[in-house]
Amino acid sequence: MDHVPPHPAGRPLVIERVAELRAHLDAARAQARTVGFVPTMGAFHEGHRSLMRAARGQHDLVVVSLFVNPLQFGPTEDLARYPRDLEGDLAVAAAEDVGVVFAPPVEEMYPGFPAPPLTTVAIAGLTDGLCGSARPGHFDGVATVVTKLFSVVGPSTAYFGKKDAQQLAVVRRLAADLCLPVKIVGCPLVREADGLAMSSRNRNLSPAQREAATVIHRGLRAGAELVAEGGERDAGRLRRVVANVLTTEELVRLEYAEVVAADTLAPLDVLDGDVLVAVAARVGDVRLIDNMTIHIDAEGAVVDLGVAVAPTEEGLCAAR
Ligand code: AMP
């Protein structure tokens, strides 16, 4: 990656084995060091960096996992084309003062791979709609790998981006339901200067597609304006305005635009409380997601579209 400042402490320790990571983190905890954990699939951008910075601001030792999890990709999805950049990622991790990068080979996480694991974690309800309907099995793959990673890393605080709003809801729920000793922190969605939500998959867009993809953010902004300034409280009309903007761009194919309750992800008729407006679209072969949340009460509407640049440690994350 460009512009990575030199890091005085050098590169993070790279660990590939579960037993080695457990031993290392047990020893750290025995010295009263706290562990902040950031699970990722690599190809780092400012969104990932903001999570690392949040973790570093609150913990002695930051562990970043770097694992492109085959279980969360469907048979026709982009597992083979998913961007990979280990050297670049290690430079970024060093610049963000990450202590350990856990980069397991696939057989370490799934012995016997490609045979499917016999034990998986499935979450009902929360995964029926939004990306769950378009990507059957995706969230079971996410829930399974996250549960395994939490088990390996042990007691910690884990940092997730609000960019993947449904994933964050799923992870919060599985940590609560399975009594996992992990505190989940949701961090702001980070955008490029022109509004496109940062994503590792943006690397796979052509210049024309990259330009066209900004329509996703424009659609959300149009919806935000309708609610915050126009006083709209009808979820269907909000949904249609967002969807209509997205269909103006020839290179972008809308998969869904949905308006749901932010915690349960249940579809809404009337806008009230914490509302999630979530969008998925295909630009060529690249599938992009984006969202905003709107808090609506008698006083009015407060829109959260994330941040345009990675913020500093202060006020970066809201733990819930
Ligand atoms: P990934 O490597 O795409 O699986 O993402 C790893 C973590 O980074 C997840 O918690 C994502 O939600 C988070 N993340 C990815 N993109 C962004 C973004 N643009 N802003 C904030 N967090 C992000």
By most ligand atoms within 8 Å of CB, the mutation choice from 51, 66, 146, 201 for ligand 1 is 51
C-beta contacts of 22-28 below 8 A and 24+ residues apart: 22/152, 22/154, 24/100, 25/61, 25/63, 25/100, 25/153, 25/154, 26/154, 28/60, 28/61
Residue 202 to residue 196: CA distance in whole angstroms: 9
Tokens found for residue 29: 């905890």
Instruction: Give the single-character DSSP code of 80.
Output: T
Ligand 1 atom 12: residue of nearest CA: 161
**Other C-beta atoms within 10 Å of 105: how many?**
11
Cβ of residue 72 lying under 6 Å from some atom of ligand 1 = no
Write out the catalytic residue numbers.
48
- Find the angle CA(81)-CA(87)-CA(92) to the nearest 5 degrees: 105
Give the number of the atom of ligand 1 that is nearest the alpha carbon of residue 190.
Answer: 20
Residue 281 to residue 5: CA distance in whole angstroms: 34
Give the number of the atom of ligand 1 that is nearest the alpha carbon of residue 160.
Answer: 10
By most ligand atoms within 8 Å of CB, the mutation choice from 45, 52, 163 for ligand 1 is 163
Which pTM value belongs to this model? 0.94
Give the number of the atom of ligand 1 that is nearest the alpha carbon of residue 48.
Answer: 8
Cβ of residue 145 lying under 6 Å from some atom of ligand 1 = no
The confidence score (pLDDT) of residue 10 equals: 75
Tokens found for residue 53: 């910075």
The confidence score (pLDDT) of residue 302 equals: 98
Residue 43 to residue 31: CA distance in whole angstroms: 32
Residue 277: which H helix or E strand, with range?
strand 273-283
Per-residue confidence of the chain (320 residues) as pLDDT tens digits? 444 444 445 789 999 999 999 999 999 999 999 999 999 999 999 999 999 999 999 999 999 999 999 999 999 999 999 999 999 999 999 999 999 999 999 999 999 999 999 999 999 999 999 999 999 999 999 999 999 999 999 999 999 999 999 999 999 999 999 999 999 999 999 999 999 999 999 999 999 999 999 999 999 999 999 999 999 999 999 999 999 999 999 999 999 999 999 999 999 999 999 999 999 999 999 999 999 999 999 999 999 999 997 444 443 443 32
Cβ of residue 189 lying under 6 Å from some atom of ligand 1 = yes
**Other C-beta atoms within 10 Å of 121: how many?**
18
Ligand 1 atom 17: residue of nearest CA: 47
Picking from 83, 34, 303, the residue whose alpha carbon sits closest to that of residue 185 is 34
CA of 30 to the centre of ligand 1 (A): 30
The confidence score (pLDDT) of residue 9 equals: 58
Cβ of residue 201 lying under 6 Å from some atom of ligand 1 = no
Cβ of residue 197 lying under 6 Å from some atom of ligand 1 = yes
Instruction: Give the single-character DSSP code of 91.
Output: H
CA of 49 to the centre of ligand 1 (A): 9
Give the number of the atom of ligand 1 that is nearest the alpha carbon of residue 197.
Answer: 19
- Do residues 25 and 153 lie in contact, with contact meaning Cβ atoms separated by under 8 Å? yes
Cβ of residue 289 lying under 6 Å from some atom of ligand 1 = no
**Other C-beta atoms within 10 Å of 60: how many?**
14
CA of 163 to the centre of ligand 1 (A): 6
Cβ of residue 166 lying under 6 Å from some atom of ligand 1 = no
Return the sign of the alpha-carbon dihedral for residues 29, 35, 39, 44.
negative
- Do residues 267 and 128 lie in contact, with contact meaning Cβ atoms separated by under 8 Å? no
CA of 75 to the centre of ligand 1 (A): 22
* b/e per residue 84-94 (b: at least 16 CB within 10 A): ebeebbbbbbb
Return the sign of the alpha-carbon dihedral for residues 315, 196, 12, 81.
positive
Residue 152 to residue 17: CA distance in whole angstroms: 10
Cβ of residue 307 lying under 6 Å from some atom of ligand 1 = no
Cβ of residue 217 lying under 6 Å from some atom of ligand 1 = no
- Please tell me whether the peptide bond between 114 and the residue prior to it is cis, using omega within 30 degrees of 0: yes
| Packed helices 214-228 and 235-246: angle between N→C axes, nearest 10 degrees | 150
- Do residues 98 and 59 lie in contact, with contact meaning Cβ atoms separated by under 8 Å? no
What the chain holds in terms of domains, given with CATH numbers, is 13-188 (3.40.50.620), 200-304 (3.30.1300.10)
DSSP assignment of 115-177 equals SPPS------STTTSTHHHHSTTHHHHHHHHHHHHHHHH-SEEEEEETTSHHHHHHHHHHHHH
